[in-house]
Amino acid sequence: MSVLKHKRSGHADAGFTLVEILVALLILGIMSALGYGTYRAARISAERTELSMQRSREIEFGMRIMVQDFAETVPRPVREILGSNRKPSMLGTGGVGTLSATTSSSSGPSAGMSFSSQSFVGQSFNSGSNLNGGTSSSAAPIVELTRAGWSNTAGQQRSTLQRVSYGLVDDVLKRSYQVNLDTVQGNKPVVQDLFTGVKAIQLRYLDNNQTWQAQWPPAAMAQPDSLWNRPVAVELIIEFKDWGRIRRVIEIAG
């Protein structure tokens, strides 16, 4: 009887075999690999979601600023740096870049159409170097305008009107403004990167005759009227490399 007990106790103390340990390690490795793969996929998905949300907020913020600028345009021309010439309250081109081909109605923008910044006779855009810190002179503003409602919570000695210009440098849309409404020598503008990854921008201007114009002021408009007149509305189309196309029709107050 004592011999039987000794054999049983010796069998119980034998523990796991090498094969059992290897099988357990193999199962543990497989489960760890599956768990890490799931964690890594969730981590990548969360990072992509955060980047997408950041991009969405950037575009939403920039569009809100542009819509506000255009909607609050006022009939106030500005003086040139030199001479007695004045720039119209709004001075705009048809845009810059090439929109991708899309199937759109005849009232929409032309598919695959190319737009380039223009300058107007006697009213050339001279703030290209302002938009990119002086590194290039080819970034002429796409549109310039005088807007109202510039908040002055600090109580500075300045107007609540603001002269704003937009220009595309490489694929970055920049917004530029200056503290003085009328440009003076030595006045350094404030430049803000509004959008990145911009492929093309198109602008159209609705006149009082309900006709869309490719530039503002229209070439047929008389000189005195061109300084003060504003479009009824502005159609803005921005195509991003990663986000696609965004279109806004902005009604100008007044």
CA distance 118 to 104: 26
Domain assignment present for residue 14? The answer is no
CA distance 231 to 181: 21
pLDDT at 112 over 60: no
Domain assignment present for residue 1? The answer is no
Summarised one tens digit per residue, pLDDT across range 120-177 is 333 333 443 444 444 333 468 999 999 998 887 777 777 889 999 999 998 999 999 9
Sign of the C-alpha dihedral computed for residues 218, 221, 226 and 231 taken in this order: negative
Domain assignment present for residue 93? The answer is yes
Q: What pLDDT is recorded for position 173? A: 95
Instruction: Tell me the CATH number at 240.
Output: 3.10.610.10
**Using CA atoms in the order 105, 106, 107, 111, what is the torsion angle rounded to 10 degrees?**
80
Q: Is residue 208 left, alpha or beta, with left meaning phi > 0 and alpha meaning psi from -120 to 50? A: alpha
Question: Could you tell me the pLDDT band of residue 105, with boundaries at 50, 70 and 90?
Answer: very low
CA distance 216 to 98: 20
Find, among 165, 149, 3, the residue nearest to 78 by Cα.
Answer: 165
Domain that holds residue 207: 52-251
Q: Output 46 or 105, whichever has higher pLDDT.
A: 46
Domain assignment present for residue 168? The answer is yes
Q: What pLDDT is recorded for position 234? A: 97
| pTM assigned to the model | 0.72
Q: What pLDDT is recorded for position 146? A: 94
Please give the full DSSP string across 2-69, using - where no structure is assigned: HHHHHHHHHHHTT---HHHHHHHHHHHHHHHHHHHHHHHHHHHHHHHHHHHHHHHHHHHHHHHHHHHH
Mean per-residue pLDDT of the chain? 80
Q: What pLDDT is recorded for position 117? A: 52
Q: What pLDDT is recorded for position 172? A: 94
Domain assignment present for residue 102? The answer is yes
Domain assignment present for residue 198? The answer is yes
User: Number of folded domains in the chain?
Assistant: 1
Domain assignment present for residue 15? The answer is no
% of the chain with per-residue pLDDT over 90: 42
pLDDT at 84 over 60: yes
DSSP class of 224? H
pLDDT at 235 over 90: yes
Domain assignment present for residue 34? The answer is no
CA distance 230 to 250: 12
Q: What pLDDT is recorded for position 181? A: 85
The pair of structure tokens assigned to 72 is: 């609050």
The pair of structure tokens assigned to 79 is: 């003086």
**Contact indicator for 148, 160 with CB cutoff of 8 Å:** yes
What mean pLDDT comes out for the span 239-251? 94
